[in-house]
């Protein structure tokens, strides 16, 4: 068996990642609004020994809700419930540095980490949407650079708060009447451009020290932020060449932050559409694409590109949308590059994006999917993958029952969990406490 093992994360949407999943006969949009739906999915992912599951988030109701299901639960709330329904799988929640405060969020993630026994992860986002800003006392979103500037200070404050309790601070001496050694609890006294936080946190240090830190931005600023802080990166790459370039780029930035390549895991997204034969998989893909609502696709594309496309013909070319956005810059570049490279019409572009919003979609057999994952992994374009089932629950069940055993047969993926924490699953060390006064007890 290969000593190097790939990492697999299940990215769960309500009904699946294909934009027409809610219309598919195999999904139940009403059940997707229940806790049991997510409990079943989490247990399926855990049965497959996956490293983690991940919930995205947004803090505004999108204008296109007319054409797609929308029951986006607040992820930390949902993952707290899933912590009690699972034993091993990591639990990663998206939370924005633009519309939260560090103390509040550091406390929430510390709570999830304790409640789950060390399985919490934080997908750090800076919120690119315009509609979100209007829910938080702003007329428009802050510009790209300012969002990342705030995010940098935010994460430093959060890490300081997690470190504000040393590991040995909870003494819990019943006989002596001492609960905590207050010499090992430290205020952080942070005063910066965006935040003023005294601390300490009102909960002991997380089980993992810090939750696993995840980041998904692939712009130049995003890649630099990832190199400085992230321990796992979710990224959208359409081709092996693009994936390899991104992988080498991010890993190559680590040395300036005194980090080694093993300290960050690159996980490209892939939405696998599985069939017993390649033809069956293609038929399943076509079945999903036939359910696309063009109005929804146009609005999704307009949001991605920060440009209203509703007045342009569906079967005409993508108009000139410029070369820059203050929104999601890496996804803007991916979509405009795809349209130009393949000379796609708006309708064709909508269909190409329907399965994964810019992430790679691959239709094939379990062996063919495993071949793709193995190639990217062994040739240095990925440390693992962000699995995005096209429909739920069937897409996740198929991956766990068909692809995971194939990867296990090839010696590329674990057969049993060997750790109790999310950091352990990813082979990452527990960070030392910057405030440590004395060595923790053995």
For residue 441, is pLDDT > 60? no
Q: If DSSP codes are grouped into helix, strand and coil, which group holds residue 418?
A: coil
What pLDDT score was predicted for residue 308? 82
What pLDDT score was predicted for residue 437? 59
CA dihedral sign, ordered 436, 155, 57, 395: negative
Mean pLDDT of the chain: 91
Instruction: Assess if residue 34 is contained within a domain.
Output: yes
**What is the residue whose two structure tokens read 């005194």?**
258
Q: Which residues contact 238 (CB under 8 A, 6 or more apart)?
A: 334, 338, 358, 360
Cis before 247 (ω within 30): no
**Distance between first and last Cα of the chain:** 33
What pLDDT score was predicted for residue 438? 56
For residue 17, is pLDDT > 80? yes
- Between the CA of residue 228 and those of 212, 256, 408, what are the distances in Å? 14, 9, 33
The count of structural domains within the chain is 1
pLDDT (tens digit, 9 = 90+) per residue, 312-322? 888 888 888 77
pLDDT (tens digit, 9 = 90+) per residue, 359-369? 899 999 999 99
Instruction: Assess if residue 300 is contained within a domain.
Output: no
Q: How is residue 371 written in tokens?
A: 């071949």
Structure letter (DSSP) for residue 237: -
Give the domain extent around 26.
Answer: 7-272+359-425
Instruction: Please state, in angstroms and rounded to a whole number, the distance separating the CA atoms of residues 392 and 38.
Output: 10
Angle at 261 between CA 367 and CA 128, to 5 degrees: 80
What pLDDT score was predicted for residue 418? 96
pLDDT (tens digit, 9 = 90+) per residue, 116-170? 999 999 999 998 778 888 899 988 888 888 999 999 999 999 999 999 999 999 9
For residue 324, is pLDDT > 70? no
* 45: CATH: 3.20.20.30
Angle at 137 between CA 321 and CA 95, to 5 degrees: 75
Q: What does the CA dihedral 228, 233, 235, 239 come to, rounded to 10 degrees?
A: 100
Instruction: Assess if residue 146 is contained within a domain.
Output: yes
pLDDT (tens digit, 9 = 90+) per residue, 90-113? 999 999 999 999 999 999 999 999
What pLDDT score was predicted for residue 71? 63
Instruction: Please state, in angstroms and rounded to a whole number, the distance separating the CA atoms of residues 298 and 308.
Output: 8
The closest of 148, 128, 149 to 140, measured between CA atoms, is 128
Question: Under a CB-based contact definition with an 8 Å cutoff, are residues 233 and 267 in contact?
Answer: yes
The closest of 93, 79, 69 to 35, measured between CA atoms, is 79
Find the mean pLDDT for residues 210-237.
93
pLDDT (tens digit, 9 = 90+) per residue, 376-390? 999 999 999 999 999
For residue 348, is pLDDT > 50? yes
What pLDDT score was predicted for residue 405? 98
At residue 329 the predicted structure's pLDDT band, cuts being 50, 70 and 90, is low
Taking every pair of Cα atoms in the chain, the longest distance, rounded to a whole number of angstroms, is 78
Neighbours of 25 (CB within 10 A): 8
The closest of 77, 94, 95, 3 to 38, measured between CA atoms, is 77
List, in sequence order, every residue forming a beta bridge with 151; answer none if it has no partner. Answer: none
At residue 328 the predicted structure's pLDDT band, cuts being 50, 70 and 90, is low
At residue 2 the predicted structure's pLDDT band, cuts being 50, 70 and 90, is very low
Write out the H or E segment, with its range, that includes residue 265. strand 265-274
Read off the pTM: 0.90
């Amino acid at each position: 068996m290969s000593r190097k093992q790939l990492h697999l994360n299940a990215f769960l949407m309500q009904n699946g990642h294909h934009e027409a999943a809610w219309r598919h006969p195999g999904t139940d949009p009403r059940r997707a609004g229940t806790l049991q739906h997510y409990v079943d999915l989490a247990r399926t992912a855990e049965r497959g020994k996956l490293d983690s599951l991940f919930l995205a988030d947004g803090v505004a109701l999108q204008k296109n809700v007319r054409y797609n299901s929308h029951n986006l639960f607040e992820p930390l709330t949902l993952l707290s419930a899933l912590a009690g329904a699972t034993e091993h799988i990591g639990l990663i929640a998206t939370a924005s540095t633009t519309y939260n405060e560090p103390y509040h969020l550091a406390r929430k993630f510390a709570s999830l980490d304790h409640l789950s026994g060390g399985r919490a992860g934080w997908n750090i986002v800076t919120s690119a949407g315009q509609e979100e800003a209007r829910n938080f006392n702003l007329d428009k979103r802050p510009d790209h650079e300012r969002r990342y500037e705030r995010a940098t200070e935010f994460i430093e404050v959060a890490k300081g708060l997690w470190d504000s309790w040393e590991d040995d601070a909870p003494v819990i001496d019943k006989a002596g009447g001492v609960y905590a050694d207050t010499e090992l609890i430290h205020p952080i006294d942070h005063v910066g451009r965006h935040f003023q936080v005294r601390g300490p946190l009102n909960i002991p240090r997380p089980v993992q020290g810090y939750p696993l830190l995840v980041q998904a931005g692939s712009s130049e600023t995003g890649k630099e932020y990832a190199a400085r802080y992230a321990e796992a990166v979710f990224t959208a790459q359409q081709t092996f060449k693009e994936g390899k370039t991104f992988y080498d780029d991010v890993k190559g930035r680590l040395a300036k932050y005194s980090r080694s390549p093993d300290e960050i895991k690159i996980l490209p997204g892939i939405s696998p559409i599985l069939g017993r034969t390649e033809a069956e998989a293609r038929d399943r893909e076509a079945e999903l694409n036939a359910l696309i609502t063009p109005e929804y696709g146009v609005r999704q594309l307009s949001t991605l590109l920060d440009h209203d496309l509703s007045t342009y013909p569906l079967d005409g070319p993508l108009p000139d949308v410029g070369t820059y956005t203050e929104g999601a810059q890496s996804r803007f570049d991916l979509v405009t590059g795809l349209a130009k490279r393949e000379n796609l019409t708006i309708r064709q572009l909508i269909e190409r994006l329907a399965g994964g919003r810019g992430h790679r979609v691959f239709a094939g057999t379990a062996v063919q999917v495993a071949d793709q994952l193995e190639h990217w992994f062994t040739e240095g374009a990925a440390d693992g993958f962000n699995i995005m089932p096209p429909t739920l629950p069937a897409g996740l069940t198929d991956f766990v029952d068909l692809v995971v055993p194939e990867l296990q047969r090839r010696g590329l993926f674990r057969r049993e969990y060997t750790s109790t924490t999310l950091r352990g699953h990813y082979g990452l060390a527990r960070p030392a406490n910057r405030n440590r006064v004395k060595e923790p007890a053995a």
